[in-house]
């Protein structure tokens, strides 16, 4: 039976490939960092562009890596950090098939960097030239190393263990391999991915599930035999993304099991990828699908609050109220932040309820160490205790950073006394507290705005719009190139979801959704169209300490590298 053009898939001559190579300080993301990225964008055999940059890994480059690549610590000292490089690389590779020689290595580092710095991994189609070479060149070469294959196919660039050179060599290897599989009937991207091994018959049979899906951004839901939601995901192109589940580019065992169970795929079309990401969060919370790891504890966060009693203390709770510090992803992190903050502020940590008239108990160890004023013994009155409580409240609200300065001074004293191990622990505790306060200020500032309209360039001369109300996405839309944008904005605002603020620091918004919106709003190129009130973080908030946090990150990375070498 002759296949329709729609079933043939994407002709290889029309596929945009981004061939990437990384240089790193180690063999795995948990012990190494990226030092160089090189990439080449090609389509139909023509080079469309190149991307190359050194990256400061924040740690010394091991001697054996220097000997292999020639990249020294001095060379990367003035290079940008990976969090500044990632947005540019992700934009360069957007919508393309990602190609690498031993792709699992390169993608593992890129995924880890995205995860560490709050960028969403775009889940591109990934093609590994090493796997393809092993399939195509069985018995023809002794080794499938890049240098061997480059020589076999007469690559114009010799691999040198430098990222751009190796990426250029991989381009020629890719083209050589594609010439080999063409006579075998591999003419489309889908046929190429199917040609690779490790595609189960169950995956192949389910390909029809993607046949009628739209080629638009949105959310997809795999449903099982009883119509239950098995898995939820997002895509910039729904049809292309769902098709990947039925090719060798999908190697996760759990997901293959899910595909075997799936009976159909439902989709929710969205205006753009931001709307898709928000709807994914909401659907995960609603359905808690068994095959999504993120759905195990949706919305489960913790907060730190001051108790309502004459001598307040800090308590970890699930339900926030005004003045709460958070959100925290785990109770342990919330407890650590509470203990650090109580120590700096000299708040009590005991759980005894102390009457307003005072008490006459015995002092605990913290009181003897000077970390608590011992109100439990009657040594402090309510009036004497109240300034410490006010300092905590003011720090959380962003009106007074006295406690941060006090914590920094204590850290300097420990270092001056050569108590370096204790100073390092205190530094890490203070940094964790700072990040929590900074996150609180960022999210609450956005949640406080009743309505905010923002626009991001869509890359084709048009605009993507988001209407945000109290930290929630209320409406989303686009104005394509040539379409007047303001009438679109007016229509989106008029049809936007009504959001009634609730009590609490985030006005009832899901912390994950608000954080997602904050990251989108602060991307380069995003513009504010209008706001009901100014969107601003507190003047005396943790934002001023972000440079200090960068310094701490660098010091921690250096210590980790030193431990690894020793």
- Rounded alpha-carbon distances, angstroms, from residue 178 to 133, 187, 195, 372, 518: 10, 9, 11, 71, 42
Handedness of CA 329, 330, 333, 334 (dihedral sign): positive
Pairwise CA distance, residues 77 & 83, whole Å: 15
Backbone angles phi, psi at 469, to 5 degrees: -125, 120
Residue 479: strand pairing partners: 463
Pairwise CA distance, residues 363 & 158, whole Å: 73
Given a contact cutoff of 8 angstroms between Cβ atoms, the answer to whether 320 and 328 are in contact is: no
Q: How far apart are the first and last CA of the chain?
A: 65
Given a contact cutoff of 8 angstroms between Cβ atoms, the answer to whether 326 and 302 are in contact is: yes
Pairwise CA distance, residues 364 & 377, whole Å: 9
Handedness of CA 36, 236, 493, 439 (dihedral sign): negative
161 given a catalytic annotation? yes
CA angle 326/332/333 to nearest 5° reads 40
Pairwise CA distance, residues 224 & 238, whole Å: 19
Pairwise CA distance, residues 78 & 494, whole Å: 49
User: One of 161, 175, 441, 470 is an active-site residue; which one?
Assistant: 161
CA angle 442/448/453 to nearest 5° reads 90
- Among left, alpha and beta (phi > 0; psi -120 to 50; other), residue 537 is beta
Catalytic residue positions? Answer: 161
């Amino acid at each position: 039976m002759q296949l329709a053009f729609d079933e043939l898939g994407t002709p290889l001559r029309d596929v945009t490939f981004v061939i990437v190579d990384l240089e790193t300080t180690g063999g795995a993301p948990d012990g190494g960092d990226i030092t160089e990225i090189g990439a080449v964008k090609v389509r139909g055999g023509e080079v469309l562009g190149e991307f190359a940059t050194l990256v400061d890994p924040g740690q010394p480059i091991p001697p054996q890596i220097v000997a292999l690549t020639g990249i020294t610590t001095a060379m990367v000292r003035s290079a940008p950090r990976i969090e500044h490089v990632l947005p540019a690389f992700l934009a360069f590779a957007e919508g393309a098939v990602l190609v690498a020689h031993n792709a699992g290595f390169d993608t593992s580092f890129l995924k880890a960097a995205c995860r560490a710095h709050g960028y969403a991994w775009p889940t591109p189609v990934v093609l590994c030239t090493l796997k393809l070479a092993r399939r195509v060149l069985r018995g023809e070469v002794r080794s499938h190393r890049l240098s061997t294959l480059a020589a076999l196919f007469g690559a114009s660039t010799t691999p040198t263990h430098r990222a751009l050179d190796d990426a250029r060599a991989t381009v020629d290897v890719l083209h050589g391999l594609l010439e080999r599989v063409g006579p075998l009937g591999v003419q489309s991207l889908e046929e190429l991915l199917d040609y690779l091994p490790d595609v189960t018959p169950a995956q192949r049979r389910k390909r029809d599930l993607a046949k009628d899906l739209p080629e638009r951004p949105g959310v997809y839901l795999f449903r099982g035999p009883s119509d239950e939601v098995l898995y939820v995901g997002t895509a910039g192109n729904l049809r292309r993304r769902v098709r990947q589940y039925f090719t060798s580019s999908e190697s996760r065992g759990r997901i293959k099991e899910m595909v075997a169970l799936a009976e159909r795929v439902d989709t929710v079309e969205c205006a753009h990828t931001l709307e898709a990401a928000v709807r994914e969060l909401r659907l995960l919370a609603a359905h808690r699908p068994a095959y999504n790891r993120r759905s195990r504890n949706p919305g489960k966060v913790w907060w730190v609050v001051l108790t309502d009693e004459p001598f307040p203390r800090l308590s970890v709770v699930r339900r926030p109220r005004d003045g709460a510090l958070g959100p925290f992803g785990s109770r342990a992190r919330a407890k650590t932040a509470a203990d650090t903050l109580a120590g700096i502020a000299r708040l009590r940590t005991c759980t005894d309820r102390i009457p307003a008239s005072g008490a006459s108990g015995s002092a605990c160890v913290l009181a003897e160490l000077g970390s608590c004023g011992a109100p439990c013994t009657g040594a402090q009155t309510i009036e004497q205790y109240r300034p410490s409580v006010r300092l905590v409240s003011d720090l959380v609200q962003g009106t007074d950073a006295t406690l941060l300065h006090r914590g920094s001074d204590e850290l300097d004293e420990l270092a001056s006394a050569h108590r370096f191990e204790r100073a390092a622990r205190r530094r890490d505790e203070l940094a964790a507290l700072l990040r929590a306060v900074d996150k609180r200020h960022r999210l609450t500032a956005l949640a406080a705005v009743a309505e905010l309209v923002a626009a991001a360039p869509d890359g084709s001369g048009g605009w993507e719009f988001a209407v945000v109300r109290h930290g929630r996405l209320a409406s989303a839309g686009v104005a394509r190139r040539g379409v007047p944008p303001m009438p679109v904005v007016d229509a989106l605002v008029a049809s936007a979801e009504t959001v009634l603020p609730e009590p609490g620091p985030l006005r009832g918004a899901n912390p994950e959704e608000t954080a997602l919106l904050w990251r989108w709003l602060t991307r380069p190129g995003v513009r504010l169209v209008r706001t009901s009130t100014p969107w601003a973080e507190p003047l005396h908030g943790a934002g001023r300490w972000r440079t200090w946090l960068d310094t701490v990150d660098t010091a921690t990375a250096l210590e980790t590298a030193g431990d690894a070498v020793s």
